[in-house]
Homo-oligomer: A and B are copies of this chain.
Amino acid sequence: MRITTLAGGVGGARFLRGLLHHVRRSTDLQGTRLTVIGNTGDDITLFGLRVCPDIDTLLYTLGGGVHEGQGWGRADETHEVAGELAQLGATPSWFTLGDRDFATHIYRSQLLGQGMPLSAVITLLSRRWGLDAQGVSLLPMTDTPVETHVVVADTAGGAEGGRRAIHFQEWWVRHQARLPAERFVVAGLDRATPAPGVLDAIRTADLLLLPPSNPVVSIGIILGVPGVRDAMRGTTAPVVGVSPLVAGRPVRGYADACLAAIGVESTSSGVAGLYADFLDGWLVDEADPMPSGIRGRAPQVAHRPLLMSSVDAAADIAGAAVELGVALRARDRSV
A85 within 8 A of B: yes
A172 within 8 A of B: no
Copies of this chain, whole number: 2
Q: Select which of B87, B106, B124 is within 8 A of A128 by beta carbon.
A: B87
A48 within 8 A of B: yes
Interface size of A by CB at 8 A reads 30
B125 and A99 form a contact (CB under 8 A): no
A328–B100 alpha-carbon span in the complex (Å): 55
B106 and A48 form a contact (CB under 8 A): yes
For A103, the chain B residues whose CB sits under 8 A away are 80-85, 87-88, 90
Q: Which of A13-21, A29-37, A107-115, A248-256 lies at the interface? A: A107-115
For A125, the chain B residues whose CB sits under 8 A away are 88
* Minimum Cβ distance to chain B for residue A86 (Å): 9
A49 within 8 A of B: yes
A47 and B78 form a contact (CB under 8 A): no
A77–B84 alpha-carbon span in the complex (Å): 11
* Minimum Cβ distance to chain B for residue A113 (Å): 5
For A124, the chain B residues whose CB sits under 8 A away are 88-89
* Minimum Cβ distance to chain B for residue A118 (Å): 15
* Minimum Cβ distance to chain B for residue A64 (Å): 13
For A81, the chain B residues whose CB sits under 8 A away are 81, 99-100, 102-103, 106
A47–B47 alpha-carbon span in the complex (Å): 14
Interface of A is mostly: helix
For A98, the chain B residues whose CB sits under 8 A away are 80
A124–B87 alpha-carbon span in the complex (Å): 11
For A87, the chain B residues whose CB sits under 8 A away are 103, 128
A48–B125 alpha-carbon span in the complex (Å): 17
A235 within 8 A of B: no
Q: Please, which residue of chain B has its CB at the minimum distance from the CB of A100?
A: B84
Residue of A78, A87, A106 with most partner-chain B CB within 10 A: A106
A119 within 8 A of B: no
A interface residue numbers (CB < 8 A to B):
47-49, 77-78, 80-85, 87-90, 98-100, 102-104, 106-107, 109-110, 113-114, 124-125, 128
Q: List 20 A-B contacts (CB under 8 A).
A: A47-B106, A47-B107, A47-B110, A48-B106, A48-B109, A49-B106, A49-B110, A78-B78, A78-B80, A80-B80, A80-B100, A83-B100, A83-B103, A84-B100, A87-B128, A88-B104, A88-B124, A89-B124, A89-B128, A90-B103
Q: 20 additional contacts, CB 8 Å, given A80-B80, A80-B103, A88-B103?
A: A47-B106, A47-B110, A48-B106, A48-B110, A48-B113, A48-B114, A77-B80, A78-B78, A78-B80, A78-B99, A80-B99, A80-B100, A81-B81, A81-B100, A81-B106, A84-B103, A87-B128, A90-B103, A90-B110, A102-B102
